[in-house]
Amino acid sequence: MTQRQIIAIGGGGFGRNPGEGIIERYILDQSKSKKPRICFIPTATGDDEGYKESYYSTFSMFDCKPVHLDFFKRTPDLEELILEQDIVFVGGGNTKSMLAVWRDWGLDKLLKSAYQKGTIMCGVSAGAICWFDSGITDSWSRDLRVMKCLAFTKGVCCPHFDEEPERRPTVHQMIKNKVISECIAIDGGCALHLINETPHGSIVFSEKKNAYCVSMESEIINESPYPPINIF
């Protein structure tokens, strides 16, 4: 039976700390390949060059085959590129713009096909929430909003839960106002690892971090942590 995996990072990794490689090593270790093929998709930053440099400087430390996918230069054959990867890593940035580009090119369907065949899907911020039914995003400048995503797995996801001061109170208020019923909230320095759409654990790569299922019972907000797996 094919194992489907999603590793959703709340914040951090090579975009912030290039060369550290803690969560990156964990991601590579989940592949059955001895030399995993990994593709970075930085669409959410408009294919930012510095972001790509940080990606290559970090993954070049490991025995893997890193490539990237550009949409704002000449774009390769998407089916050929995506379906040969062991891992896809999606960068942070503007989720709404990213998904609009993907859907126009048909990348969303190719990613779904690859996921169902066992390609590990992972990413940070926009690249974390995109795999869920919906995500809480700052794609709009004025406020945080819930937007529909790719629905590879169920739930509403919020990254940067402890890093950005508006995140926690916004999630709590959305639940109280019944905008959402519950939320998967992920701190920076932590990732939620899902196997076959079921949470496996919080992958903790910085001190005092976790991921939570945030819900409300009897008008009281509860933040229930997922089992932590410390890797730092």
Average pLDDT value for residue range 89-114: 98
Average pLDDT value for residue range 80-97: 97
Quote the pLDDT of residue 169.
Answer: 97
Average pLDDT value for residue range 62-83: 96
Confidence of residue 14 (pLDDT cuts 50, 70, 90): very high
Whether pLDDT at 194 is above 90: yes
Domain positions in the chain: 5-230
The architecture that CATH gives domain 5-230 is 3-Layer(aba) Sandwich (3.40)
Confidence of residue 105 (pLDDT cuts 50, 70, 90): very high
Query: Among all residues, which ones are annotated catalytic?
Result: 125, 160
Quote the pLDDT of residue 219.
Answer: 94
| 108-164 per-position pLDDT tens digit | 999 999 999 999 999 999 999 999 999 999 999 889 999 999 999 999 999 999 999
Quote the pLDDT of residue 142.
Answer: 84
Compute the distance between CA of residue 145 and CA of residue 163 in angstroms, rounded to an integer: 17
Quote the pLDDT of residue 70.
Answer: 97
Confidence of residue 1 (pLDDT cuts 50, 70, 90): confident
Average pLDDT value for residue range 37-63: 98
The mean pLDDT value of the chain amounts to 97
Average pLDDT value for residue range 2-21: 96
pTM of the model: 0.97
Compute the distance between CA of residue 198 and CA of residue 4 in angstroms, rounded to an integer: 10
Compute the distance between CA of residue 107 and CA of residue 78 in angstroms, rounded to an integer: 7
Q: What are 9's strand-pairing partners?
A: 124, 191
